[in-house]
Amino acid sequence: MNRDRSHAIFAHAQMLMPGGVNSPARAFGAVGGEPIVVARGEGAHLVDVDGNRYIDYIGSWGPMILGHAHPAVTEALARTIQGGTSFGAPT
């Protein structure tokens, strides 16, 4: 399994952020190794920046029950975002 790009991105991130990530749970410090750097999600799978494919057993800690990039969800998001993205007021 090639992880060269993931390693390079994580090494660079460690120079910019403590632990190289935005959450201690993502740092892998307690278990050794390095995190994968995700490029995209497809259904129940994640694909890293090196092209490796993984089963996503985490599911974003619950909210991804339909999987990544489910067509019904992405279509609803596309329709909604056409109306604007942030207003600073009730909608």
What gap in Å lies between CA 23 and CA 17, rounded to an integer? 10
Q: pLDDT by residue (tens digit) across 20-75? A: 887 776 767 777 788 889 999 999 999 999 999 999 999 888 888 999 999 999 99
Q: Locate the domains of the chain by residue range.
A: 4-81
CATH 3.30.70.20 given to domain 4-81:
no
Q: pLDDT by residue (tens digit) across 8-20? A: 999 999 999 888 8
- This prediction has a pTM of 0.79
Q: Structure tokens of 30?
A: 């307690």
DSSP assignment of 38-87: EEEEEBTEEEETTS-EEE-SSGGGTTTTT-BT-HHHHHHHHHHHTT-S--
Cα-to-chain-centroid distance, residue 14: 17
